[in-house]
Chain A
Amino acid sequence: AQTVTQSQPEMSVQEAETVTLSCTYDTSENNYYLFWYKQPPSRQMILVIRQEAYKQQNATENRFSVNFQKAAKSFSLKISDSQLGDTAMYFCAFMPAQGGSEKLVFGKGTKLTVNP
């Protein structure tokens, strides 16, 4: 069974600075997807970024980028120029790409606070 571990329950960063959230996963699959979702106080789950395991290039979305290390099974999220609106829970998630399963496996989340 796949597992996703987020080792940082809480983090804080000053506005305009850069922060990196860690995520590791365990799987025997070779093809899979990885995601970061953001959950602000409104509780809405919002997709931040996704990465296909077969792609070597790290995904980027504006101020958000990932450092995907397949051999190390690591998938960290970097937020540049942090903004107050980035304050939220961040969840790392894994999904196998084969076998007909679309089950997302989530980590426990990291609570990020951006301070003014």
Chain B
Amino acid sequence: DAGVIQSPRHEVTEMGQEVTLRCKPISGHNSLFWYRQTMMRGLELLIYFNNNVPIDDSGMPEDRFSAKMPNASFSTLKIQPSEPRDSAVYFCASSWNMWGQETQYFGPGTRLLVL
């Protein structure tokens, strides 16, 4: 069974450009999470969805960040306009939200560099 799939794996862009990160969760999972990892702040939860509905977006840094989950098998995280301080590794994770099954499985991450 395929794990969480993220694309692209690496992204280099210039300040001011729009960046879109993509995620396909594990089939059958109903919760999806976006995390950001930096040296300074460690791993931070940005937003998570349950049954395609955003539940908690309190970790989204500012209005430049937006996330969508149009269906159970696809989510995007968009940064517009991008800034150098957005450089980080962005992880997507998914889980099955049922008692005893809440373990989150992570994708390989997208390494973003904003010049």
Contacts and interface: CB of A to CB of B under 8 A. Distances in A.
A70 B8 CA distance: 41
Interface in B83-97: 89, 91, 93, 95, 97
Contact of B56 (A33, A42, A103, A107): A103
Contact of A50 (B55, B89, B93, B103): B103
A44 B95 CA distance: 16
A97 B103 CA distance: 11
Contacts of A91: 43
A106 interface: yes
B56 A101 contact: yes
B108 interface: yes
A98 B105 CA distance: 20
Q: How large, as a class, is the contact surface on chain A?
A: 20 to 34
Nearest to A44: B108
Contacts of A16: none
Contacts of A104: 33, 45, 104
A12 to B, nearest CB: 20
B42 A109 contact: yes
A84 interface: no
B78 interface: no
Nearest to A109: B42
A102 B50 contact: yes
Contact of A95 (B50, B55, B56, B102): B102
Contact of A52 (B43, B89, B97, B100): B100
A95 B106 CA distance: 15
A43 B89 contact: yes
A47 B104 CA distance: 8
Interface in A55-79: none
Given A45-B93, A95-B102, 13 more contacts: A43-B89, A43-B111, A45-B109, A47-B103, A47-B104, A100-B55, A102-B33, A102-B95, A103-B45, A103-B48, A104-B33, A104-B104, A106-B42
Interchain residue pairs A-B with the least CB separation, the first 8: A45-B106, A106-B43, A108-B42, A43-B109, A44-B108, A103-B45, A102-B31, A50-B103
